[in-house]
A = this chain, B = another copy of it.
Amino acid sequence: MTRNVIFEPYGITIAVEDGENLLRAALDAGVHVNASCGGQGVCGKCRVILEFGELETDPGENIGESDWNAGYRNACRSRVYSDVVVRIPPESLLDRRSILRRHPGIALRPSPIDFKAIKAAGLYSPAFEKRLVELTPPTLMNNLCDMSRLEAGLARRHGLDAVTLDFYLTRALSRALRENNFEVTATLDFSRRRYHFPHVLNVEGGDTTQRHLAFAVDIGTTTVWVQLIDIAAGEVLGHAADYNGQLTYGDDVITRIMYSQKEQGLKRLQEAVVATINRLMHQLLHKHAIPADEISHITMAANTTMTHLFYGIDPGSIRLSPYVPTVCNVPLVRARDLGLDVPPHVFINCVTSVSSYVGGDIVAGVLASGIYKDPRLTLYIDLGTNGEIVIGNEQWLACAACSAGPAFEGGGIKHGMRATVGAIEEVSVNPENYEPMIITIGMTKPKGLCGSGMINLMAALMESSLLEPNGRFRTDLNTPRLRMGEFGREYVVAYAEDNQIGQDITFSEADVDNLIRAKAAMFAGYVTLLESVGIEFGDIDQVILAGGFGNFINIENAVTIGILPDLPRERFQFVGNGSLQGATLMALARELLDQERRVAGMMTNFDLSEVPSYMSHYVAALFLPHTKAEFFPTVTERLRMQKP
């Protein structure tokens, strides 16, 4: 249910979901409210006056009784459960001009997989199916062995004239038949990934056709996601995520590869990620009270290095010129052989990688987003330490990886941190007094800046004219928020007294430089790749953003600082965790399982370090938003208009 919130005196209305936090509503509406404690309700600055309707507000200690009776509330402690009118009190009132400068973020949310649409498109046809087989019990005159009887039953009842049978079902077959009056359910793999004929993986006694599940796994360098999928019902039952257990051995793929070259290193890394996956699978099975026997298969996607490490395959050559992986299309193997705690009939179906730095995670995203069969020209972007880019349509696909470095994930930024509780994620800066309005994850006192928070902060600093296009802070402003620090000039995002870390949280010119280099690497990637295939930005029909980071990014701000191209905003779309979604869809749609290797093969890989023009494109992008203003027409226009 949606509720309307009207912010007075601006007369700005925003529709929000029932229960939305009022501070967040203000931010989304582009209404600045002072807020420096991240939304924990301790700084007391985010005062608003309730003029109409009901808010559910935690009183806290900041509003005295008379103020409360006069309608004063802390926005960060208030939730909207009716239409309301809220007034920004005079002490916070700014002129309307400054409000207009702020462009509301596009309220895109990661779209969960839309099963109705998948079914409607005829795509819902899992490669793994369960078939009930009612057999005639053997007699002296009809004494085929159990296995041939099963084959005959599959032929007669299901028209499956030729199947292959997995070894392990032979161990369960006799009992399953005899304890269930010769009625069993067979699990078949209809994909063409390995077996020429449909392959019977498992048999269970009685009719278990409605008990059919699978796991989809996304192994990120940092985070591992596991999704439990009900194949019989065609829905995701739940997911679980945790840090990749390999983090103990290094933060990024390069340090992991180096560790893998040590004695026992590869083994330890393999076991670490398998332990993480086992824990997550157990959690899900336990939570949904599902026996492991009902899992028929696992689909998996990961970047090339994570794929090698998961399978225990030496990734050493990935890091050494000419940067070739050992294997892009990993053959089928029993999950149990890798140490996964599932029955022996469960095989791993892994998404094919393209190259050392464009992995199965990207191919999975391409599959999930359907680019490979879409006539529209699409730019697919996965932001991260290795930002991957894909461009193309149903006819052709080109891809590349950019070494953006760790800045987007908080690396190399003094107060950077992962996107966990206490990370500043939303920021706006009051263009009159340069005070920030911040919201943290979990609305606790801030601890630092996560990737999306840094992007939002940098955009806010540009829009409030604090930050110049060359990445330097203004020196002509008289505000305590801007000062000289250890690493050049810096903006104080949260003073020590408003945060959890006992020192000011700042954002310095050195941090700005780091972020500019990261975004320049990405943008130079787009330009180089487009140039390589003879396309211009204007030709792009849609831009799809993926990656755990991509989910939370404010597109407007990302365009403002020049990470994303300045295209009409309606062309942007989030696919969420494209890797996990691709793995999940592969479990649900045979088409994807059958096509994935072909799609990976379609993707022509460009090694940007080998393209001579890449470096000049990179240097040209070391500017906010870019040295070539024509690349960023709307941003340039907006920034020009608000110049004081």
The 8 Å CB contact of A140, one of B144, B175, B178, B322, is B322
CB of A4, distance to nearest CB on chain B (Å): 56
For the complex, what is the distance from the CA of A147 to the CA of B355, rounded to whole Å?
12
What residues of B have a CB within 8 angstroms of the CB of A194 in the complex? 164
Which residues on B sit within 8 Å (CB–CB) of A142?
A: 322
Interface centre among A142, A147, A194 (most CB of B within 10 A): A147
How far apart sit A170 and B338, CA to CA, in the bound complex (Å)? 13
* Chain B residue at smallest Cβ distance from A311: B170
> Which residues on B sit within 8 Å (CB–CB) of A164?
194, 331
Contact present for A330 and B174 (CB under 8 Å): no
Of B146, B332, B355, the residue contacting A167 (CB under 8 A) is: B332
Contact A175–B331 (Cβ < 8 Å): no
Nearest B residue to A353, CB-CB: B145
Which of A312, A324, A331, A356 has the most chain B CB within a 10 Å cutoff? A324
Contact of A146 among B139, B145, B324 (CB under 8 A): B324
- Are B147 and A327 closer than 8 Å at their CB atoms? yes
Q: Interface residues of A: mostly helix, strand, loop or mixed?
A: loop
**Given known A-B contacts A173-B326, A331-B165, A317 and B140 have beta carbons under 8 A apart:** no
0/1 interface trace, chain A 169-189, chain B, CB 8 Å (1 if under) = 011011100100000000000
Number of residues of chain A lying within 8 A (CB) of chain B? 51
CB-CB < 8 A to A170: which residues of B?
311, 313, 326-327, 330-331
The answer to whether B196 and A147 have CB atoms under 8 Å apart is: no
- Inter-chain contacts of A175 with B (CB < 8 A): 314
The CA-CA distance from A288 to B326 in the complex, in Å, is 34
What 0/1 readout, one digit per residue, does chain A (326-349) give for beta carbons within 8 Å of chain B? Answer: 111111110001000000100000
Digit string of A134-174 for contact with B (CB within 8 Å is 1, else 0)?
A: 00001110111111110000000000000011111011011
Do B140 and A321 have beta carbons less than 8 Å apart?
Answer: yes
A446 within 8 A of B: no
Residues of B within 8 A of A355 (CB): 143, 145
Residues of B within 8 Å of A578, CB to CB, are none
Q: Would you call B171 and A138 a contact (CB within 8 A)?
A: no
User: Given A143-B323, A143-B355, does the pair A178, B317 have CB atoms closer than 8 Å?
Assistant: yes
Q: Across the interface, do A313 and B148 meet the contact criterion of CB distance under 8 Å?
A: no
A41 lies within 8 A of chain B by Cβ? no
Let me know if A174 and B313 touch, CB within 8 A.
yes
- Please tell me if the beta carbons of B322 and A146 are within 8 angstroms of each other in the complex: no
Within A55-89, the residues touching B (CB, 8 Å) are none
> From A166, which residue of chain B is reached at the shortest CB distance?
B331
A326 vs B143: C-alpha distance when bound (angstroms)? 11
User: CB-CB < 8 A to A138: which residues of B?
Assistant: 322, 324
CA distance A356 to B146 in the complex (A): 11
Residues of chain B within 8 A (CB-CB) of A326 are: 145-147, 170, 173-174
Q: Which 5 A-B pairs have the closest CB atoms?
A: A196-B196, A167-B333, A147-B327, A167-B331, A174-B326
A-B contact pairs, 13 of them (CB 8 A): A140-B322, A140-B610, A143-B324, A143-B356, A144-B324, A145-B324, A146-B325, A146-B326, A147-B326, A147-B329, A170-B330, A174-B316, A196-B196
Give 7 A-B pairs besides A140-B610, A145-B355, A174-B317 with Cβ atoms closer than 8 angstroms. Answer: A139-B322, A145-B326, A145-B327, A149-B324, A165-B331, A167-B311, A167-B332
